[in-house]
Amino acid sequence: MKIVIAYSGGLDTSVAIRYLKEKYNAEIIAYTSNIGQKIESPEILEERAKKAGAKKFYYDDLREKFVKDYIIPTLKAGALYQDKYPLATSLSRPLIAEGVIKVAKKEKADAVSHGCTGKGNDQVRFELTFKYLAPEIKVIAPLREWEFKSREEEIEYAKEKGIPISTTKTKPYSIDENLWGISIECGILENPWQEPPEDAYQITTSPERTPEKPEYIEIGFEKGVFISLNNKEMDQIKIIEKITEIGAKHGIGRIDMIEDRLVGIKSREIYEAPAAVILHTAHNELEKLVFSRDLYEFKKLVSIRYSQIVYFGQWFSHLKECLDRFVEETQKYVTGHVRVKLYKGNCIVVGRKSPYSLYKEELATYTEKDIFDHKASKGFIDIFGLTSKLEGEREK
């Protein structure tokens, strides 16, 4: 039997390699991808995977694909789960699962595997993608099968079997990281009344210690895609990295929320996503300038549904494809610039412009430049207010 496993290099997946090898008497192939997390060199990862029991090791740099095929469509869709979460972890799962399936097909493997627990969202995201891309392949989820009850028991097992693990001292949090943001859970954060201690945050400066002076940045968009920062054109990975750095310095992108997992559990989640927060804010503002009211309000409904699709692991689905086509069409005029002021944890839009703007100063103004026909409003109100009048008469 041949099994390909999504391997992060951490404790769970290291132990999983050995567990799968022994339980299924299988040949294990470890697959790791770079999606913008802090990551060790492929050589070190390979050595570690092999010491854990893997026969082969594959490594992919998926950052470009992540940005182009996952992050940009989600930003265009304006998708924030439960109004806040920019979906960094959610988006990475189908991407990684795609990579696993590619290797599984090449290696003619019998099964694929992941290191997700049985009470989270990630197992769903991995497995729905596996099902969609390779319905014939078997899925094994060791963390749902094995008997370990704590990290300590896993560490004990790893030591017994000579499996190298990166940190012996247990971290107080569970952290998942990629280019689009960081998700932080567990430990003291499980008490929703408890303010997150400073050490929970990995990259952002606390607003108490950010610069006393605001910083302004200007983001350029073309058809919904961010293409420049401070009027310098750059590739999207670079823009995300730069905005992450600047935003983190000003304490932007901290999200503390209670969210509903797909399996029904409410959980307290901390996120750090400076680039996602700033880019969503700017992108939305540009849409306000160029969209009609009808389009703006209708697209909000699509944003909500889109965020659920991503969160629920239905990335590969006909519904998402259909929504993508709609969203793409909406982005036709989302071209222009947004100026954002960053100050003490706040991301404030202070300017916006677009060649396709529907804003007309002569219509909005209260000066003599005004071209709006005030007299026409009487007839408009009489007709728009007809129902109000009828209802009012009835109430009497």
Shortest spacing between CB 165 and ligand ARG, in angstroms: 17
Please identify, using beta-carbon distances, which residue of 90 and 331 lies nearer to ligand ARG. 90
Closest to ligand ARG by CB, 20 or 310: 310
Q: Indicate which residue of 18, 60, 90, 122 is catalytic.
A: 122
From the candidates 63, 93, 254, 352, which is the catalytic residue? 93
Tracing tokens 């400073």 back to the chain, one arrives at 198
Site for ligand ARG in 165-194 (CB under 6 A): 174-176, 183-185
Active-site residue, 199 included: no
Q: Is 122 an active-site residue?
A: yes
* Stretch 115-144 residues interacting with ligand ARG (CB under 6 A): 121
**Cβ of residue 273: shortest distance to ligand ARG, in angstroms?**
11
Considering only residues 234-273, where is the footprint of ligand ARG by CB under 6 A?
Answer: 269
90 forms part of the interface with ligand ARG (CB under 6 A) = yes
Among 8, 13, 74, 89, binds ligand ARG (CB under 6 A): 89
Active-site option among 69, 174, 228, 268: 174
Binding residues for ligand ARG, rule CB under 6 A, total 10
- As measured in angstroms, the least distance from the Cβ of 63 to ligand ARG is 19
Do the Cβ atoms of 34 and 146 come closer than 8 Å?
Answer: no
**Could you tell me the smallest distance in angstroms from the CB atom of residue 268 to ligand ARG?**
10
CB of 262 to ligand ARG, least distance (A): 8
Q: Who contacts 110 (Cβ-Cβ below 8 Å, separation ≥6)?
A: 1, 2, 3, 137, 138
Q: How far is the CB of 196 from ligand ARG (least distance, A)?
A: 13
- Say if residues 299 and 78 touch (Cβ distance below 8 Å): yes
Copy the structure tokens of residue 16: 């999983």
Closer Cβ to ligand ARG, 183 or 331, answer by number: 183
CB under 8 Å to 222, separation ≥6 — which residues? 335
Contact between 92 and ligand ARG per CB under 6 A: no
Nearer to ligand ARG, 123 or 354 (CB): 123
Q: Which is nearer to ligand ARG, 176 or 215 (CB)?
A: 176
For residues 321 to 350, the per-residue mask of contacts with ligand ARG, x marking binding by CB under 6 A and - elsewhere, is ------------------------------
202 touching ligand ARG, by CB under 6 A: no
Nearer to ligand ARG, 123 or 330 (CB): 123
| Least distance between ligand ARG and beta carbon 150 (Å) | 16
Residues at the interface with ligand ARG (CB under 6 A)? 89-90, 121, 174-176, 183-185, 269
As annotated, the active-site residues are 12, 93, 122, 174
